Structure formats: C-alpha cells, structure tokens
C-alpha cells in the first residue's frame, strides 16, 4: 500500500513535499534496521556528539559576521522551519550508494558550482534536472546498470575560497563566498556577510525541492517521455542526435514490454528517484536544520540528502569532520593528490567507524595528470584496511585554468581524468562508483572543447557562472556516453553482459 514518509520529530511537512513509498510497514521497518546497522544512537562514537559539538573545534571557511544578534535571529528562524528532506529518503539514498560501492549501480552527481539568487527560475531547475535524466538514460541503457541521480541543488549556495580577500583594479575587498553569504558585486556593501541570506537560501532550497519532487513524481520523468527530454538548442548537435537515437531505442523497448503485459502506469515507468546534495560548509546553517528522527533516534541534517566536506575542510581534528561524524546522512569527503593514504584511512574510520556500506563516498579531485600516480595508493590503503567506501571521480576541480582572463576547464582534460579513474580501478580490480560534475542545462560557454567545440574566443559569449566554469548540456551528455562505454566494457570483462553497442562513443 502507499504510505507517507515518516516525518522527523516535531516537524511539519511542507505543502507538496510528502513522499510516497510503496512498501508495507513490515518491510519498511526491516529495511530501516538494515540500513542503519552499525550507525545506532547507542554506539560509543556518538556518546560525546551533539549537533553543536563542532563549536568546540576550529571551523575553517566560515563567514566573519559583523552582527552576532542578527546571525542568531537568522539561525533561530531556520531552526523553526520544516525540514527540507526526510530521514527515510536519506536512508534510501544510503542503500543506493551501497550498491554503487559494489558495482551494482552507478552514481551521477551534478549541478551548479554555486546556486544563485538572481538566476533562480523554474526553467533553470527543469533544464538541469532534464540533462541529468538524459545522462541517466544513456548510462543505464548503454552501461547496463541502474543510475543513482543526485543533484548539486537546493543547498549548494556557498563556496570555499583560497583567500579571504580579492583585488580588482588595485582595490581589495572580502572574497565572494556564494549568495548564501554575500553578493558577487565588487562593492564593500555587497561583500559584507549578511546572515539574512541564510533564510533566503533556505526558502529558495525549499522551492527548488518542491519543484524537483513534482518533476520526479508527477509524470515529467516518465520513461515514455524520453523522446521529449531533448533541449531545443541541442537538436542539431552530435550529442543531441545520439541521445535521440538512444531515446528511440528505449521507446521501442518500452513498447515491446507493454505488448508483453507491462503496466505502463506503474511507478517504475512514470516516476524516478532524485536526491539533492551540497557541500557541508556553513555549520550554523547545517546545525539549524539538524533534526532528531522520531523512528530511530538518530540525528539527520535535513538540509539535503547527502552532504560532503571539501578538500579545505576535511581536517581530522576540525569542526566539519566533528559535525559530519554524528549525522546519519550518507556523507562524502573530497580528497586531492595531497591526501596521505594513512590519513585517509584514519578519516574514513572517524566518519564511518562501523564500516556501514553506502555511508561514505570518497570523491577524488586530483587533475588529469595526477590520478594514475596518486589514486592507486589511496585505493590500496583503503582496500587493505577493509573499509567499504564508494569511489567517485570529480574531474572538474583539479583541471581549472585561466584563459583570456576567464576561469575555465578543458573538456579533454576532464574526460582524461575520468578515463584515468576508470583505468586505475580496472587495474586494481576495484569499483568505480560514480562521477561528480559541475554542470548546467543552460547553453553556456564556460568549458573549452568537447563536441560543442567551444573555443577560447567563445568564452565571453555566454559565460554566466557565479563561481566556477560548468559543463554545458552537450558536454555533460557527451561525458555520459563515455561513462556508458566504460560501464559496458567493465560489464563485459566481468562476464555479465554483451559487447558495447554502437551508441557508445
């Protein structure tokens, strides 16, 4: 029967945010026990943890708010708001990520580098969602494995910065740290951190999630619509034509299954699972949305289904690791070539002491030239320790450069890092569990190359990012075709399927 997702203690469900799950009460209870095994409230690693225990440690990358009273008011306002996501959804995602760790599924995680207040619109959300649906169809149909779809959405408002200030035309001002903190305009007033932006970010995240839930469950994501998902500006591109070829074959397969008796109105045909994630950076905001689950007694950060700490905030004795070790969400940690294997093993032990499958994702961001030399030692150290993690490749952040005054990335280097990531896991006999991309559904010109053939002279044409350069829809879809080919090759090598088909490029 259909039942509503159990809310958190003391929470009120936002209008339109109820998630229906088709499970009996008995199966739901058993699944919950299995998914939280090893992460229980009475475990010793949680005995000294509380949502506010991070305040005892040094917190990197936090804003320097000038009005503490205003900050407290903003945080108290958010703490009274309904949760943005629910504990059961987080547990479901953890179960999916556990399958990514074993090769039974593959994670496609992507979205904006930093969400914008000024560019917020239903069309932008729809287009980003649509591109991920396209990528998932390509990877599933070509690679032969389920795809877990996670967006960098409904919370990805803040960005860590390498310097507290920046200089323009001889003038020095505080760095832009994302719309949740300050404004991008190069003026002193805009660059002063404003606590009320926290509340605006919450409201925008709530609206984004409400729309995404509507898209995911209201028929828009139905497999019968695969032919309709093509973005208008991609209709004449190689990637657009290749996608339409895949979509046509999927449609033919669906017609065959319907002829065999499949009910085309079942949830598996008309709905999709979609989750949201963001970097766990602003700890005041994250603590304000951390709630106790009434069914398990565990604490969940209800700002997003999945949270990760970045390369600049993963200190073992830091506030971010302290906060994340106690929340029951599936979590991630980004690591570069600077990570020591022993340190990674210690970090994993701190964040996932009971070695719960699906709880921890290790997101590699090294740069195309460094993966083959540095990833093997990390993978081998984790494997030798017996730790279970989901390995994911972020090919964006290690390949940033400045061209003609623009921060950009070259598609060829992005693909080279993904290729090296798959190669290393193939050589070691381990599992490549997913990719993590900064991307958009907009027709932007921010990353060079790829099938869309963006040149250096094109960068000033449609360079719209507020922070880092993103793959456009064509480039993201091109990447999904490559990923599908590697998944198909892996499946063939393991003796689980046939040779890759001609749609894979």
Query: Which tokens go with 302?
Result: 């209800």
Q: Which of 232-236, 238-242, 340-344, 350-354 has the lowest mean pLDDT?
A: 232-236
CA distances from 145 to 158, 383, 496 (A): 33, 23, 11
Q: What angle do CA 274, 98, 130 make, to 5 degrees?
A: 20
Rounded Cα distance, 109 and 438, in Å = 9
Q: Which of 256-260, 353-357, 397-401 has the lowest mean pLDDT?
A: 256-260
Q: Which residue has the tokens 């990531």?
A: 421
Q: Which residue has the higher pLDDT, 503 or 412?
A: 412
Tell me what the mean pLDDT of segment 431-447 comes to: 93
Rounded Cα distance, 380 and 383, in Å = 5
Residue 29 binned pLDDT confidence (cut-offs 50, 70, 90):
very low
Specify the pLDDT at position 102.
97
Give yes or no for a contact between 502 and 494, defined as CB atoms under 8 angstroms apart: no
Q: Which domains does the chain have, with CATH numbers?
A: 2-493 (3.20.20.70)
Per-residue 3-state assignment (H helix, E strand, C coil) for 450-492: CCCCECHHHCCCCCCCCCCCCECHHHHHHHHHHHHHHHHHHHH
- Number of Cβ within a 10 Å radius of residue 184: 17
355-368 pLDDT, tens digit per residue, is 999 999 999 999 99
Sequential DSSP letters for 42-71: TSGGGTT--TTGGGGS--TT----S-HHHH
Question: Is position 152 annotated in a ligand binding site?
Answer: yes
Residue 231 binned pLDDT confidence (cut-offs 50, 70, 90):
low
Q: Is the confidence at residue 14, as pLDDT, over 60?
A: no
Rounded Cα distance, 481 and 308, in Å = 27
Question: Is position 334 annotated in a ligand binding site?
Answer: yes
Question: Is position 438 annotated in a ligand binding site?
Answer: yes
Tell me the β-bridge partners of 335: 364
Question: Is position 359 annotated in a ligand binding site?
Answer: no
- Number of Cβ within a 10 Å radius of residue 400: 16
Specify the pLDDT at position 12.
34
Question: Is position 397 annotated in a ligand binding site?
Answer: yes
Q: What is the pTM assigned to this prediction?
A: 0.88
Q: Is the confidence at residue 10, as pLDDT, over 50?
A: no
Tell me what the mean pLDDT of segment 20-28 comes to: 39
Give yes or no for a contact between 453 and 419, defined as CB atoms under 8 angstroms apart: no
371-385 and 341-351 helices, crossing angle to 10°: 50
Q: What angle do CA 267, 270, 272 make, to 5 degrees?
A: 80
Question: Is position 312 annotated in a ligand binding site?
Answer: yes
Residue 234 binned pLDDT confidence (cut-offs 50, 70, 90):
low
Q: What angle do CA 224, 19, 15 make, to 5 degrees?
A: 110
């Amino acid at each position: 029967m259909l039942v509503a997702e159990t809310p958190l203690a003391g929470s009120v469900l936002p209008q339109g945010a109820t998630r229906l799950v088709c499970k009996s009460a008995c199966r739901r209870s058993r699944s919950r026990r299995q998914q939280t095994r090893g992460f229980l409230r009475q475990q010793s690693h949680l005995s000294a943890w509380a949502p506010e225990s991070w305040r005892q440690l040094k917190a990197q990358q936090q804003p320097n708010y000038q009005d503490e009273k205003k900050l407290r008011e903003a945080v108290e306002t958010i703490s009274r708001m309904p949760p943005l996501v629910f504990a059961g959804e987080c547990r479901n995602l953890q179960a999916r990520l556990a399958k990514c760790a074993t090769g039974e599924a593959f994670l496609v995680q992507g979205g904006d580098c930093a969400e914008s207040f000024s560019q917020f619109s239903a069309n932008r959300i729809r287009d980003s969602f649509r591109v991920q649906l396209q990528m998932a169809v390509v990877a599933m149909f070509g690679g032969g494995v389920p795809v877990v779809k996670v967006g960098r959405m409904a919370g990805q408002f803040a960005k860590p910065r390498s310097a507290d200030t920046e200089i323009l035309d001889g003038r020095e001002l505080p760095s832009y740290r994302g719309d949740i903190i300050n404004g991008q305009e190069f003026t002193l007033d805009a660059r002063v951190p404003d606590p009320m932006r926290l509340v605006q970010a919450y409201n925008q995240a709530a609206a984004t999630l409400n729309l995404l839930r509507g898209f995911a469950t209201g028929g828009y994501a139905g497999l019968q619509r695969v032919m309709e998902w093509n973005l208008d500006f991609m209709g004449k591109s190689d990637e657009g034509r290749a996608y339409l070829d895949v979509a046509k074959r999927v449609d033919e397969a669906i017609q065959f299954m319907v002829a065999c008796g499949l009910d085309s109105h079942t949830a598996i045909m008309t709905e999709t699972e979609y989750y949201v994630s963001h970097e766990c950076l602003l700890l005041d905001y994250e603590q304000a949305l951390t709630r106790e689950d009434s069914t398990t007694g565990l604490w969940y950060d209800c700002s997003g289904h999945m949270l990760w700490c970045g390369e600049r905030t993963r200190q073992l004795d830091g506030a971010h690791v302290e906060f994340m070790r106690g929340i029951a969400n599936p979590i991630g940690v980004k690591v570069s070539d600077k990570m020591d294997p022993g340190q990674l093993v210690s970090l994993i032990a701190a964040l996932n002491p009971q070695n719960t499958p699906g709880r921890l994702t290790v997101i590699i961001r090294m740069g195309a030239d460094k993966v083959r030399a540095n990833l093997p030692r990390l993978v081998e150290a984790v494997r030798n320790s017996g730790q279970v993690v989901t390995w994911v490749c972020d090919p964006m952040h290690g390949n940033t450069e400045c061209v003609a005054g623009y921060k950009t990335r070259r598609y060829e280097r992005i693909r080279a890092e993904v290729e090296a990531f798959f190669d290393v896991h193939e050589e070691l006999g381990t599992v490549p569990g997913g990719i993590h991309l900064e991307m958009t559904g907009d027709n932007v010109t921010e990353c060079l190359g790829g099938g869309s053939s963006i040149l250096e002279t094109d960068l000033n044409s449609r360079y719209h990012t507020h922070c880092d350069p993103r793959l456009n829809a064509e480039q993201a879809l091109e990447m999904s075709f490559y990923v599908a080919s590697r998944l198909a090759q892996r499946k063939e090598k393991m003796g689980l399927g046939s040779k890759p088909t001609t749609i894979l490029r």
